[in-house]
Amino acid sequence: MSNINYKQFTLGIEEEYMVLDPVTKELKSHEQKIVTEGQKIIRDKVKAEMHQAVVEVGTDICADIEEAYRDITTLRKTIKQVAGDLDLSLGASGTHPFSHWEKQLITDHIRYNELVAELQEAARSNLIFGLHVHVGMENKDLAMHIANSARYFLPHVYALSTNSPFWEGRKTGYKSYRSKVFDKFPRTGLPENFDNYESYERFVNILIKTNSIDNAKKIWWDLRVHPFFGTVEFRICDVPMTIDETIAIAALFQAICAKLYKLRMQNLNFISYPRSLVMENKFRASRYGIDGMMIDFGKEMETNTRGLLYELLDFVDDVVDDIGVRGPINYISKMIENGTGADRQLKVYEESGGDLFKVTEFIEQSFLA
C-alpha cells in the first residue's frame, strides 16, 4: 500500500542525562553551566531540568530514523565534551544507583518553584531520567486515534527500556524503579481511552477551569497527544543507556504508529483494552523487564514477555521497510537476547560484589557506546 503517507511520521527525541562527579560518580549540580556552554554549540537543543544534576537534550524534527540517529549521536558527543571541559561527566540511567535526592539542588526557575510549592516532597524527590519520543501526526484526531490504540503496546516497549534497578543505594527488586518514583505525581501513568480529540480537550479544559493545571503540559501521562506540537508523545521509557537502544526504541514507536495508521486506512481497528488491564502489564514490565510474563489479553493468558516482543516485531514488520527502520528494528532482537540496561547494571552489581560505584562507572562508560 505505497499510497499511504508515511512521511507524516516525523521523529523528535528528548533524553535526560545524569550529571556526575568524575571522581566520586555522585550526582553533581552543574549550576546550568552545561546548558550555558552547550547552547553556544547546539542552541536550544540543550535545556535545564528541575534538578541541577539533570541535563536534557532534544533533537530537531527528524524526517527519518537516520536523521534522528545522527542528531542523538551529535547531542550525546557534544554534551559529553562540554561536561568534560567543565570537569563533569555524564551517564544515562533511569535513576542514579546511589545518590540521594535530598542532597540535590533545585533549579531556580518560576516553573520549578511553582511545581515544588504545589507538589512538595513528591517534586523534590522526582530525581529520574526519561526518554520522550515524539511521532508526527497530520492532525489531532488521527493523533488521538493512534494514542488510544498504541496504549496497549506501551508496557512491551517499556519492558525493553528498563534501566533503573537501583534507588538511593539499594537494589529495588524492580527493573525500572523510575516509574515508581514518578507515580507520586498527579496525572501520571497510562491515559484513559478518549472517544475523540474534542473529548480530550474538554477534559483538559475542566482541569484548567478548576485550577488543577494552567496548561496541558502538566498532564504527565505515559503517552499523550502533545498540546502544542502536532505529535503523539511516548513518555513511558527510562532513558536508555546507549544510543543504539534509544534509536531502536524510537524506531519501534514510529513503526507502531505507522502500522496502526495502515490498519485505519484499511478500515481496521486494533482492539482497545481497558486502562486497568494494560496497567497490569505495566507493573510486570516495571518489576521484571523482559524476563517476566505479560498478559496476552486476546488469549486471556500469561505469555513470556520476550515472546510477546517478537510478536510485536511481527505485527509491525509490514511497515518497517516503508518507513526505513529495518536496521534499528533488527537491533531490538539483540536487545531481547542480550538484556536491557537494567540487566547489564545488575550483572555488574553481581560481578563486583554489590559495588554501586562500579555500576555507575559502567553507566558512564556506556554513554557513547
Taking only the tens place, the pLDDT of each residue in 351-365 is 999 999 999 999 999
User: Does pLDDT of 36 surpass 60?
Assistant: yes
- Average pLDDT rounded to a whole number, residues 238-264: 98
User: pTM score, two decimals?
Assistant: 0.96
Answer yes or no: is pLDDT of 1 > 50.
no
Distance in angstroms (rounded) separating the CA atoms of residues 158 and 185: 19
pLDDT > 70: what percent of the chain?
A: 99
Nearest to 187 by CA among 168, 206, 174, 172: 206
pLDDT tens sequence across 227-244: 889 999 999 999 999 999
* Whether pLDDT at 369 is above 50: yes
- Please say if the pLDDT value at position 348 is more than 60: yes
In tens, the pLDDT along 85-130 reads: 999 999 999 999 999 998 888 888 888 888 888 889 888 888 999 9
Residue 54's beta-bridge partner residues? 18
pLDDT reported for residue 107: 83
For residue 3, pLDDT beyond 80: no
The phi, psi pair for 147, rounded to 5°, reads -60, -45
In a domain, 2, yes or no: no
Residue 268's CB is within 10 A of a number of other CB atoms, namely 9
Mean pLDDT over 233-257 rounds to 98
pLDDT at 138: 94
- Give the whole-angstrom CA distance, residue 226 versus residue 147: 10
Does the residue 3 lie in any domain? no
Query: Do 222 and 189 form a contact (C-beta atoms < 8 A)?
Result: yes
pLDDT band at 277 (very low <50, low <70, confident <90, very high): very high
User: Is residue 27 domain-resident?
Assistant: yes
CATH number at residue 342: 3.30.590.20
- Under the banding of pLDDT at 50, 70 and 90, the label for residue 193 is very high
CA distance 90 to 353: 24
Instruction: Determine the pLDDT at residue 259.
Output: 97
Q: Is 94 inside a domain boundary?
A: yes
Per residue in 47-59, pLDDT (tens digit) is 988 889 999 999 9
User: Taking residues 1-22, what's their average pLDDT?
Assistant: 91
Does 270 have pLDDT greater than 70?
A: yes
Any domain includes 156: yes
Average pLDDT over residues 19-31: 96
- Average pLDDT (62-69) is 98
Side chain identity at residue 143, one-letter code: A
Average pLDDT in the chain: 95
Answer whether residue 1 is part of any domain: no
Cβ pair 305, 291 in contact under 8 A = yes
Query: 33 or 115: whose pLDDT is higher?
Result: 33
Q: Specify the pLDDT at position 2.
A: 53
Residue 6 falls inside a structural domain = no
> Which phi and psi angles does 156 have, rounded to 5°?
-60, -50
10 Å CB burial of residue 82 (0-12, 13-18, 19+) is buried
Q: pLDDT value at position 122?
A: 80
Note whether residue 255 is domain-resident. Answer: yes
Report yes or no: 176 and 158 within 8 Å, Cβ to Cβ: yes
Secondary structure, 3-state, the chain: CCCCCCCCCCEEEEEEEEEECCCCCCECCCCCHHHHHHHHHHHHHEEECCECCEEEEECCCECCHHHHHHHHHHHHHHHHHHHHHCCCEEECCCCCCCCCHHHCCECCCHHHHHHHHHHCHHHHCCCCCEEEEEEECCCHHHHHHHHHHHHHHHHHHHHHHCCECEECCEECCCCECHHHHHCCCCCCCCCCCCCCHHHHHHHHHHHHHCCCCCCHHHCCCCEEECCCCCEEEECCCECCCCHHHHHHHHHHHHHHHHHHHHHHHCCCCCCCCCHHHHHHHHHHHHHHHHHCEEEECCCCEEEEHHHHHHHHHHHHHHHHCCCCCHHHHHHHHHHHHHCCHHHHHHHHHHHCCCCHHHHHHHHHHCCCC
Are residues 6 and 316 in contact, defined by beta-carbon separation less than 8 angstroms? Answer: no
CB-based contact 53:28 (threshold 8 Å): yes
Centre a 10 Å sphere on the Cβ of residue 325 and count the other Cβ atoms it contains.
26
Number of domains composing the chain = 1
Single-letter code of the amino acid located at 266: Q
How far apart are the C-alpha atoms of 123 and 106, rounded to whole Å? 10
Considering only CA atoms, which of 282, 312, 17, 304 is closest in space to residue 175? 282
Quote the domain boundaries for residue 145: 11-365
Rounded CA-CA distance 251/257 in Å is 10
